[in-house]
Structure formats: structure tokens, C-alpha cells
A and B are shown apart, each in its own frame.
Chain A
Amino acid sequence: MRRIFSSRSVVVAMVVFLVVVGLITGSNWFAKRTNTPPFLQRFSNDLAGGASRILAAPTNAIGRSANSIGNLLSTFEENKKLKSEVDQFAQDKVRLQTVEEENKSLKQQLKLKATLTDYQTVSAVTISRSPTTWQSQLVIDKGTNSGLKKGMPVLAGSGIIGRISEVNTTNAKVALISDTSDSANRFAITVKGDDGDVNGIVTSFNREKNQLIMGQVTSDNKIKKGDLIQTSGLGGVIPSGLFVGKVASVAKDDYGLTKKIYIEPAADLGNITTVMVAVSKMGDN
């Protein structure tokens, strides 16, 4: 009988295993501590980003048509529902413009340059998405040359989808909120409850329920299903007022001492073709 592996292969395999575990933990440690990857990695990523861009054009076109066929089936029902919502939005828009004007003039009177709610957006196109088990990351077509920095929040559709996890010269990676690594979704949020705001941070993501978790909430303020959640701006990098999602359920933690809030994310993490990176103006002060 032929043996599948020789004893030499077993030794080689063991050495390789140790080296790889070292590599994984080492490069993970290194990636967390640096803002931009080493030159060689950055250079090869820029090169790979260029190649991806060429291939992204035809594949995105195929994806768009596949999505349009899918959307067509639910269009009629959706259209009816949306029409009723549009009138409400027009009213809100007018109100928002008036309040924005008022806010601007009040800020001028107070001689405030920029506050937590002031941010600019940089639009970018998704050129690739990691076909990986963990660390679902997007590659977008803007990098340090557009002023992006590690840690900036990224928005798509109606809400926040993740943060910049690595910046190369002409492209950047976005770690999605569905990723449990520390850099992806630990940001400060506020629940807009009836009794007042409840502040906290996102502590993890439950991939089996597709929901974000805000853990260790000690506030007694009442929080109910459907309450809106936005970024609080505490911590500095992420501006205040970015929509995160709605409260899906509130539960006690394992010890019954604090509350655990499950959040239904506002953004659809499946279909992300274009994104906006929110750049806080606070640093300009």
C-alpha cells in the first residue's frame, strides 16, 4: 500500500504549521499597530488594485444586470410603499435645510469652527471584496491620495457599513461591521430612547442573527424595539450622527447585571457597489 505522507513530510508539515501560526499572529499584531502597510505590501496591493479595477468593470456590469432582474420581481410592491414615504421625506428635507441654516448661523455666533457633526464625504467605488471565510473586507478605489486614513467610517446606502482597515496609495480596505476584529466595529454609538440618550460602544456582531451587539449597558433609561441608533462622535475619529440601525431587541447579559442591545444594521452588507467615506472636520481645528 502506498502511504499518503512520508515521515519527512510530517516533520515538514509540523514546522510549516508553527511558522504559519507565527506568521498569522505576527502579521495580525503588526497590522493593528501600523497605519499603512510596509512599502512592499503597499506597492503590490496598489498593483493588484489596478488589475482588479480592469476586471471589476465587466463583472460589476454582470452583477448589476443580475441584481436588476432580481429587483424587478419586487418592484411593484416596493413602488407603492416608497411613494407614500417620499412625501414625508420632502417635508423632512425642507425642515432639515431650515435647521441646518439655523445651526450654521448659531455656530458662527458662538465662533465654533467645526463640531462632531461636521464631516465631508469622499465617494468611492468597490473594486473587490475578499472571498474569505472571515474578515470580509472591501477594496475601494480611493487611498491616501484622496486623504483617507485608517479608522475612518464608511457609509453605504442608509447607514454605516464599516471602517477603513488599511490604506494603500490608490486603494483602501474596508473592514465590515460584520467582522468581529477589534478594528472593524468597535465604535461609540448612542441609542435615541424616549427617556434620553444611552451611550455605549458596539461590542460585537452576531453573525448568526445578522445583528450588532451593544454590550454592558448600565443605563436605566427605557429602550424599546425600533429606537434609532447613531454614532455618538465620542472618541474623535468617527463623526456624530451617522445612522447605524434600529434596536431589534434588548436582553439581560449572562450575569443579569447589565443590558445587551441587539441592533439591526441599517445598511445592506450584501450589495455594496459604491461607498462614502466620512472624513471628520474636527482635525482641521
Chain B
Amino acid sequence: MAFWQFTRLKFVYPVILLILFFLDGTLMSALGGYFTHFPFHILPMLTFVWLFFGIQFKVYQDIPFWWYVLLIGVMFDAYYTGIFGTYIIAFLLGTLIMKQLHYWLDERIIAGLLLLLIGIVVYLIITYFAGFIIGIANISLLNFLIYQLVPTVILNVFIGAIFYYPTWSFFQVLN
């Protein structure tokens, strides 16, 4: 394999996806004092933001995107929770809804961020209800919305906004 192939999207996209998967966990640990400052519970969702970029910039058509989503879901469950199912479905459904709604929205950044917002809300709501299935949910829906969903959405949409144009240019270069 020639060196130039390593700079192709097919190679770069999953590698960054994997790095962000670990970065989410280490960020949560390193900045835990801020992210879980009582009563807040904010989640860094860089992996999900990267998947959003994949959809928004139509990269998913050129790579085995859905296999990556599935794999990240399985890894997330194995490594972070130890219980399979929740994050597989959260990642799959979150990205699937973003992809379906992408037809309806235009290419402007604001439409893209709305897409990301909807994706994150779907993702978080799925994880919230999955907690009920195994009886570990110990927070009311209202508190979940105020202290977790809203700040998490704000943080990650903000991250999405900052990296929107750099990522777009990055994909242009790779293509």
C-alpha cells in the first residue's frame, strides 16, 4: 500500500472516529469535576459529532459508514458500560435520523447544527429510557432534561459549530 493511500478518507475517517471514541472517555475523566459538577451531568459526545460530520458532508456514501456506526456502538457498550444494546441502538438511531432528515434540510451551517441537535436529543432520550429497562434510572425526566440534556446539547452543538468549517475543508482536501 502506497503512502498516499493513508491520506485518503477511507483510512482517515475511521481512525479519527476511533481516537474520538477514546477521547470522549478521557475527557470525561480529566474534566469530570466540571462535567459532573452537581447537579449537572454533561457528556462530551465528540464521536457522535464526528458521525454527524460524516452525514452532513455526505462522506457516508464513500465509506462503509453504517458498519463503523455499528462497531462504535458495540465498542462503546463493551468498553464503557459492559452491557450491550443501549449505545448500539443510540448511535444507530441517532445517525439514521440525522441521515433521513438531511434530505429535508439544506446545506447551510445552521441547518446542519439543527440536524446535530436533533441527533443528540434522540441519542440521549434513548439512553435515558434504556436505563428504565434494567432499573437503574434514578433521576426524573425533568431533571434529566434540565441538568443533562440541555447542557450536553449546548456543549456538543457548540463543538460542532467550531469544527464545522475546519472539518468541511479537511474533507475537501482528503477528497
Contact = CB atoms under 8 A, between A and B. Distances in A.
Interface of B is mostly: helix
Interface of A: 2, 4-5, 16-17, 20-28, 31, 37, 41, 44-45, 48-49, 51-52, 55-56, 59-60, 62-64, 66-67, 70, 126-139, 165-166, 173, 179-181, 204-208, 210, 268-273
B36 A135 contact: no
Given A20-B88, A52-B26, A66-B31, A37 B136 contact: no
Contacts of A27: 77, 82-85
B19 A24 contact: no
B156 to A, nearest CB: 11
Given A23-B85, A27-B84, A208-B140, A270 B134 contact: no
A125 to B, nearest CB: 10
Given A23-B84, A27-B84, A55 B19 contact: yes
Given A24-B84, A55-B26, A180-B138, A134 B131 contact: yes
B23 interface: yes
B33 A135 contact: no
A55 B23 CA distance: 7
Q: Which 8 A-B pairs have the closest CB atoms?
A: A63-B30, A128-B25, A24-B85, A23-B85, A130-B80, A129-B29, A271-B33, A133-B127
B101 A4 contact: yes
A216 B170 CA distance: 59
Given A45-B78, A64-B30, 8 more contacts: A16-B89, A37-B82, A52-B25, A63-B33, A127-B25, A128-B22, A128-B80, A137-B81
B130 interface: yes
A15 to B, nearest CB: 12
Nearest to B32: A270
Contacts of A273: 29-30
A127 B29 CA distance: 7
